[in-house]
Amino acid sequence: MKLRVESFAISVDGFGAGPDQSLENPLGVGGGALHEWAFATRTFQKQVFGGEGGETGVDDDFAARGFRNVGAWILGRNMFGPARGPWPDDQWKGWWGDNPPYHVPVFVLTHHAREPIPMAGGTTFHFVTDGIHRALERARDAAKGLDIRIGGGVATIRQYLRAGLVDEMHIAISPVFLGAGESLFAGIDMPALGYRCVEHVGTPRATHVVLKKA
């Protein structure tokens, strides 16, 4: 059982999200450009958008790998929605509509309690108020021996990296600059934490880098 980061896109200048996340800009201003490599793939067209078609090839291979052998997800509050502070009501159920792309239990880190939200397709959102370690414990129990995927955002991945808990990361470096936003690796000494690059492949839309902890 591994804790994995998959298909996480960053800019050439190291930002995993743009500034000023909002309902209109869920990935921050300019953040959507980070994911153009993924939006075109057959995997994302089917898994995320519920459609058909899409491109095959290296980008799609990496996207598909990210959904294999995953029994639970962990998300930060920002990945679930744009609201901050106490939940205003129970209406918001994520960015993805009635059938989110996860199809397994999802554990959302938050400071504000909320009842679980069962969704179509096997996804249930659980809200964890007692930190990253407890979220990981609950995800491990729910995953039933499969891997756990951290969906993001940047702050959540950084917490798990600093704690030395991430076993493997697939980062897609998109050929764009954001200039500002949330930096993924700033201030984190990856070699000191034991991470090394074990794979790197370039395509016209991204450079795919796989990092593993020794």
pLDDT score, position 124: 97
- pLDDT tens for residues 108-126? 999 999 999 999 999 999 9
Reported CATH class of domain 3-7+34-82+99-161+174-181 = alpha beta
**φ, ψ for residue 105 (rounded to 5)?**
-65, 140
pLDDT score, position 156: 96
- Report whether pLDDT(20) > 90: no
- What average pLDDT does this structure show over 15-21? 86
Q: How confident is the model at residue 26 (pLDDT cuts 50, 70, 90)?
A: confident
Q: How confident is the model at residue 136 (pLDDT cuts 50, 70, 90)?
A: very high
pLDDT score, position 48: 78
Q: How confident is the model at residue 8 (pLDDT cuts 50, 70, 90)?
A: very high
Q: Give the predicted TM-score (pTM) of the model.
A: 0.92
Q: How far is 160 from 173, CA to CA, in rounded Å?
A: 20
pLDDT score, position 171: 98
Q: How confident is the model at residue 53 (pLDDT cuts 50, 70, 90)?
A: confident
Q: How confident is the model at residue 93 (pLDDT cuts 50, 70, 90)?
A: confident
Least confident of 26-30, 112-116, 161-165: 26-30
pLDDT score, position 4: 98
pLDDT above 90 as % of the chain: 74
Per-residue HEC secondary structure of the chain comes to CCEEEEEEEECCCCEEECCCCCCCCCCCCCHHHHHHHHHCEHHHHHHCCCCCCCECCHHHHHHHHCCCCEEEEEEEHHHHCCCCCCCCCCCCCCCCCCCCCCCCEEEEECCCCCCCEECHHHCEEEEECCCHHHHHHHHHHHHCCCEEEEEECHHHHHHHHHCCCCCEEEEEECCCCCCCCEECCCCCCCCCCCEEEEEEEECCCCEEEEEEEC
pLDDT score, position 97: 84
pLDDT score, position 164: 93
